[in-house]
Amino acid sequence: MTLASPLSTVFWQTIKEQGMAVEKLDKEESDGEKGAQKGGKKKSSLMKKFLILGGVLVLLGGGAGAAFFFLGNGHGGEKGKGHDKAKAEQPKAPPVYYAFDPAFVVNFKDESEVRFLQVTIEVMARDPLVIEAVKTHTPVIRNNLIMLLSNQTVESVSTVEGKEKIRAETLKEIQKILKKHTGSPGVEDVYFTSFVMQ
């Protein structure tokens, strides 16, 4: 509504100015053409009315277009782009973490001796309902992760690249379980907050 007031003020000012201009032209014509015939005055007067009407229509069209652009859905031809930008600019929800307790402890063979691996794993999601789903399906998740961790070798857990690979496989396994049971992978990331090998 704040846009309508300035538009209507401009519109009425323009109409008033055009009216004064027509009156001035009429006065000049009547002074200069006192001896002219009546038919000539009618044509000139009719022409002035058409010019005024044309000016008013142009102003109305421009005002309506401006109002549509600023108040309506006329986003300058970028209707779809504006909505995409708004979605992209929305901040993500804060992360929610869940730590599996107790830590995962597995044994595996290294040539002739038995080795132990203890890993504390936490998952991160942005929806508390996902964390609830992780808690609900913890037995399945723990089972699959114990199987995954117990298949590792000393070489695979000794390097940063190896640990990163295991972390990625762990995330993939948890997402697979959640997708199967809830329809959505939900968990965004997995973190090893403790990683001990003996």
For the chain, what is the mean pLDDT?
A: 78
CA angle, residues 173, 176, 179, in degrees to nearest 5: 150
Dihedral pair phi/psi, residue 197, rounded to 5°:
-125, 135
Domain(s) labelled CATH 3.30.479 in the chain stretch across 96-197
68: tokens are 């549509």
May I ask the CATH class of domain 96-197? alpha beta
Could you report the per-residue pLDDT of 135-164, keeping only the tens digit for each?
Answer: 999 999 999 999 999 888 888 888 899 999
What is the per-residue pLDDT for 56?
A: 74
Mean per-residue pLDDT, 14-34? 61
User: Model pTM?
Assistant: 0.54
* Residue 117 CB neighbours (<10 A): 20
